[in-house]
Structure 1
Amino acid sequence: MSLLKGVAEKNTRAGFRAERREVDAAVPQGLLKAARKSGQLNLSGRNLSEVPQCVWRINVDIPEEANQNLSFSTTERWWEQTDLTKLIISNNKLQSLTDDLRLLPALTVLDIHDNQLTSLPSAIRELENLQKLNVSHNKLQILPEEITKLRNLKGLYLQHNELTCIPEGFEQLFNLEDLDISNNRLTTVPASFSSLSSLVRLNLSSNQLKSLPAEISGMKKLKHLDCNSNLLETVPPELANMESLELLYLRRNKLCFLPEFPSCRLLKELHVGENQIEILGPEHLKHLNSILVLDLRDNKIKSVPDEITLLQSLERLDLSNNDISSLPCSLGKLHLKFLALEGNPLRTIRREIINKGTQEVLKYLRSKIKDDGPSQSDSVIETAMTLPSESRVNVHAIVTLKILDYSDKQTTLIPDEVFDAVKSNIITSVNFSKNQLCEIPKRIVELKEMVSDVNLSFNKLSFISLELCMLQKLTFLDLRNNFLNSLPEEMESLIRLQTINLSFNRFKILPEVLYHIPTLETILISNNQVGSVDPQKMKAMENLMTLDLQNNDLLQIPPELGNCVTLRTLLLDGNPFRVPRAAILMKGTAAILEYLRDRIPT
């Protein structure tokens, strides 16, 4: 029975009919009827400039069909309707909401993202059951203090607004688990935030923060902290005491020193790229026992300490665009899946070795270690942990490293026993490189819910099957040294893809689908036959930082490419164009982009 049934009985039929005429044009009656049964109403993308009264009064007024039909089946008893608990009115043209919002007190989810709201009504305080509120992508400049009364709120999404401050009493939202205030105009974070003791995820990226309060360490359950794209010059030492922290993003700030993390034993990802950090010392590494991803790109680091070998769990290390002239040979002992070194003045490793990729670099570094015999761990990987029934499958890698590895077998197909060996284990990486595969194994789709890295390099692939396009958690894809000349448009569904390596294939243009994957940060497409790129579409790729076009067929570089200001590494050597000349190329990416911008026709 509705919470507002008593109100419903007092309403007149005439009042409802006037409202019914309004809803005819905006909200289909069938949708309202279904919502009374399910408790959910989705009005997304209907070009609404205001919310019709019949929506607010859905549980208050007698339905129109009740006035026309006096006999009801069991399924049509309107008086047994379900209270509306979920309302989605996103992607419309709403500029305001009325206080009639209070007529939906049972709401647990209210989604009004992508509208034109400049404020929220004070009546929002009466939605005491609300657990999720999404007001992202609007034009909010202030939040009403009444929002702090939503004590059951677990998810609050305020990103992409115009907020400059947080209201007093915000810490009263003590059940809040997920808070996104990114892409606003905040200059400070209240110290009282420390009282948000249930918070698991906090996104403060793309604001104007110059500091973080030391009290932030009071968030004992916080696992994910994103402070990318702010003005931070330091982070409070107390941050190092956040024992639950797993993901920390500090990219694109003004940090001069790398923080130390003595208590962050669970930290898996540390992103401090695009800062001004000069020193990477043993003290910064010795506590990062669980680290999987370490992003140090675009800093001023001059050397890497031997203690890097302490990071035995490390899978991704990005050192690109620093001032590193040599690497410790001990780095070769790590089981890295991805190592980025572009843009460093390295003197100890030849360019052709770096171009061959991570595994060749690690192999080279290992070869330089004196008296390097087979280690105990290597023998365990190859023998003791390999079950007799699955002798060709590296079970240790599956169980311990979460890698499905069947590389360097020179096989034309991947045996079923390889996929069968996964069983109930979680797999994050697939390595089928250095085989003779002419097509991608169809059973790879079985891993679509978990795999993030796929290496299919050094095979004979001439096309990409749709099974690969279904791996929606994919972040890293290595397809170099194949026979590819195109990519399917279905790859646009790879909404998390950050790095793709297409070097040593047969592409004549940059594949169109790459322009439509906004998450891409690195495109490696050297040693192909690429003759052109579209600078306008490339400019829209806001996350693209590395573009390797070396050894292609570019006869000219479009000046508009200089507008791609997010690029930190642009490699153009080995193309037949005349300008920019070699002297400009040697000065690095910033000089190349400036040169190109100066030649844009006015």
Structure 2
Amino acid sequence: MRGGAAFQRHRRSSASGPGALNMSRLKGVSERDPRAGFKAERRDCGASVPQGLLKAARKSGQLNLSGRNLSEVPQCVWRINMDIPEEANQNLSFSATERWWEQTDLTKLIISNNKLQSLTDDLRLLPALAVLDIHDNQLTSLPSAIRELENLQKLNVSHNKLKILPEEITNLRNLKGLYLQHNELTCIPKGFEQLFNLEDLDLSNNHLTTVPASFSSLSSLVRLNLSSNQLKSLPAEISGMKRLKHLDCNSNLLETIPPELAAMESLELLYLRRNKLRFLPEFPSCKLLKELHVGENQIETLGAEHLKHLNSILVLDLRDNKLKSVPDEITLLQSLERLDLSNNDISSLPYSLGKLHLKFLALEGNPMRTIRRDIINKGTQEVLKYLRSKIKEDEANQRDSVTETAMTLPSESRVNMHAIITLKILDYSDKQTTLIPDEVFDAVKSNIITSINFSKNLLCEIPKRIVELKEMVSDVNLSFNKLSFISLELCMLQKLTFLDLRNNFLSSLPEEMESLIRLQTINLSFNRLKILPEVLYRIPTLETILISNNQVGSVDPEKLKKMENLITLDLQNNDLLQIPPELGNCVNLRTLLLDGNPFRVPRAAILMKGTAAILEYLRDRIPT
């Protein structure tokens, strides 16, 4: 009897005490649903939802019922925060950890990979839900009561059989992520633009034929996936999405791209594969565009006008088109790392292509006449080496035909004064020298220099006189040397934004690099690093880290998550035995490359789906 009295006292005191169950969250529900309020918890859960799981969910606010063969959601799940739990009847001497009336509102519910054909309006009994994941079921519709989940931030209804969306979904004003891929949607409900907080929207693999012009009002949208639909055009108003970074329109019926798309200043990744494009769009305002995928179209020409604005492009996919030539202006793409020209009608390449620092060049399926097939078969670096040798041959022929005039000074015969004066570049590359001569630095004189290129030499240390240019230089290329350490002189270039150190012998970076407070891109590929250098985590301006082809065995996902500007991380061909699931929380990453590592999961099929799919896969595996 004492235990029963104690239980009653607990019920009375909990109604007003600081540990009381939040009654306010039930007030609105009880007005609509007379069943709301405390009842003895129903015993209809059976073996499908163990009581221990419900008990843990009341403490954590998270409930995962994925893969339990459910054909309907048990009532005890909907009423988890409303009914007296079973343990209240089993144990009346409550310890501090067993006060069921101090339970936490359910904020995350995962019911994916089941056999649900419908959801009831009891969904409204969980008004605190922030995450609702019901992917991989057999839902044909969503209940109108979904409008009452006003706190919902992520809704995943992918891989179902939805034919329409209820208009009530437009009431979810706090929604940030909406995943509707692999359904049977033919249209978007009116008022969809009211989801003004939406950042990530996936509508891929549906039956959409148009995109509403009102989409332009989704001003917070960062990622939009429209791939594998039946779109014949995009609305010009799409340019109103000022924050959009990732646009995927693969596998549609697009014949043209609205010119307004070129005004999207935030766009970084654009996928237009498998459409019916005949012309490559121009992108005068897309200064941040890093990847452009237009393979499997019907593009016939590639001109300077298409290339001159792609200053930041890292990946250009032109495979399976009808290109007949590549212009000399391809050298404008100085950041380009991957170029896919396979399966076109190209018979020759400009030798100037050899000046690019490509990691990957695909030429298969072209009727090449100027490069022997055995050279192409040896891979990217051999092709570039061949093209560079042809450049040298041409330069030698020109030197033989032009006699040196008496006006040429000795120092100017070795230092490219034109590059210094006109291009603001101090270029002393590809000399196979172990030291940079003083006359190279002397040649700068009073000129302004923004870039230094000492690549392709035999430098074992960074020239100390580089510090003389610390007030000017923003771009330094020291790739293809023999550097085994970084001197402090480099760490004093506080205006540095781009640093290329690939193909050296580096096994660590100095802590003093933390002073590079403007550094945005660092290329450390092909070195001897065994971990991601700690100092990089402390450079908040970093946007791109390229560290492929090293021996990196681990990364710290928590520190990476704090790097809010980091959007590209290349970890290909390292020694990662496992990928920490917490890496999925690095939601700012738009390009994450993991190929060529010895881990078993994520599987190759996941990696092929791209960065967003990898991050989602990892997030789903974070222990709760």
* TM-score normalised according to structure 2 size: 0.61
RMSD over aligned CA atoms reads 13.9
- Cα gap change, 1:393 to 1:515, in 2 (>3 Å): same
Q: Name whichever of 420-429 and 7-16 sits farther off.
A: 420-429
Alpha-carbon distance change, 271 to 70 in structure 1, aligned in 2, over 3 angstroms: same
With over 3 angstroms needed to count, the CA separation of the structure-2 counterparts of 1:280 and 1:494, relative to structure 1, is farther
With over 3 angstroms needed to count, the CA separation of the structure-2 counterparts of 1:381 and 1:444, relative to structure 1, is: farther
Select between 191-200 and 59-68 the one with higher mean Cα deviation. 59-68
Once the two structures are superposed, residues 452-488 of structure 1 have per-residue CA deviations (whole angstroms, 9 ceiling, x without a partner) of 9999999999999999999999999999999999999
Separation in 1, partners of 2:89, 2:602: 77
Q: Which of structures 1 and 2 has the bigger CA Rg? A: 2
Residues in 2 aligned to 1:387 and 1:35: alpha-carbon distance in whole angstroms: 80
Distance 1:239 1:422, change over 3 A: farther
Aligned residues: 602
CA–CA distance in structure 2, aligned partners of residues 84 and 561 of structure 1: 25
1:32 aligns with 2:66: no
| Residue deviations 1:546-592 (CA, integer Å, cap 9, x gap) | 99999999999999999999999999999999999999999999999
User: Post-superposition shift, 1:343?
Assistant: 0.3
Name the SS for the 2:44 alignment partner: helix
Unpaired runs of 5+ residues, structure 1, are: none
> Shift of residue 48 of structure 1?
0.5
Paired residues of 1:381 and 1:397 also in contact (CA < 8 A) = no
Alpha-carbon distance, 1:69 to partner: 2.6
Change (3 A) 1:588 1:370: farther
Assess if the C-alpha contact under 8 Å between 2:36 and 2:82 holds in 1.
no
1:191-218 CA-to-partner distances (Å, cap 9, x unmatched) read 0000000000000000000000000000
Identity of aligned residues (%): 92
Deviation string, structure 1 residues 34-61 (Cα, Å, up to 9, x no partner): 1111111111111100000010001111
Q: CA deviation at 1:85?
A: 0.5
Residue 25 of structure 1: CA displacement?
2.5
**Contact 1:223–1:247 (Cα < 8 Å) also in 2:** yes
Any conservation in 1 of the 2:39–2:82 contact (CA below 8 Å)? Answer: no
Match of 1:412 in 2: 434
Aligned residue among 28, 53, 56 for 2:78: 56
Aligned equivalents of 2:483 and 2:61: distance in 1? 50
Cα contact 2:455–2:481 (8 A) shared by 1: yes
Contact 1:539–1:561 (8 Å) recurs in 2: yes
SS of 2:462's partner is: coil
Residues 401-438 of structure 1 show CA distances to partners (whole Å, capped at 9, x for unaligned) of 99999999999999999999999999999999999999
Q: Which moved more, 1:497-506 or 1:5-14?
A: 497-506
TM-score by length of 1: 0.63
Range that drifts further, 257-266 or 66-75: 66-75
Residues 318 and 341 in structure 2, CA contact (< 8 A), matched pair in contact too: yes
Mapped to 2, the partners of 1:398 and 1:16 lie a distance apart of 79
Of 402-411 and 206-215, deviating more is 402-411
* TM-superposed deviation, 1:21: 2.2
Structure 1 Cα separation of the partners of residues 615 and 551 of structure 2: 22
Out of 305-314 and 434-443, give the one that drifted further.
434-443
Contact kept in structure 2, 1:499 and 1:523, CA below 8 Å: yes
Q: Classify 1:66/1:415 alpha carbon distance in 2 versus 1 (closer, same or farther; 3 Å).
A: farther
Distance change >3 Å, CA 252–CA 369, structure 1 → 2: same
Deviation of the 1:317 alpha carbon = 0.4
Q: Note the alpha carbon deviations across 1:227-269, whole angstroms, 9 max, x for none.
A: 0000000010100110100000000000011100011111000
1:293/1:568 CA distance change after superposition, 3 Å: closer
Contact 1:8 1:60 in 2 (8 A): no
Q: Cα offset for 1:3?
A: 1.9
Query: Distance in 2 between the 1:298 and 1:26 partners?
Result: 50
* 8 Å Cα contact 2:354/2:388 also seen in 1: yes
| Inter-partner Cα distance in structure 2 for 1:290 and 1:124 | 43
Distance 1:516 1:307 in 2: 37
Describe the SS at the equivalent of 2:201: strand
Moved more, 187-196 or 72-81: 72-81
- Indicate the larger mover: 198-207 or 67-76: 67-76
Which has the higher mean CA deviation after the structures are superposed, 160-169 or 588-597? 588-597
Question: Unpaired runs of 5+ in structure 2?
Answer: 1-22
Q: CA deviation at 1:74?
A: 1.4
1:341/1:48 CA distance change after superposition, 3 Å: same
CA distance in 2, matches of 1:112, 1:33: 21
More displaced 10-residue stretch of structure 1: 394-403 or 272-281: 394-403
2-side partners of 1:474 and 1:168: how far apart?
49
Do the aligned residues in 2 keep the contact of 1:298 with 1:568 (CA within 8 Å)?
no
Change (3 A) 1:581 1:97: closer
Partner deviation per Cα, 1:268-312 (whole Å, 9 max, x = no partner): 000000000000011000000000000000000000000000000
Tell me how far apart the structure 1 counterparts of residues 608 and 362 of structure 2 sit (CA, whole Å): 19
- Flag the 1:302–1:497 CA change in 2: closer, same or farther, 3 A: farther
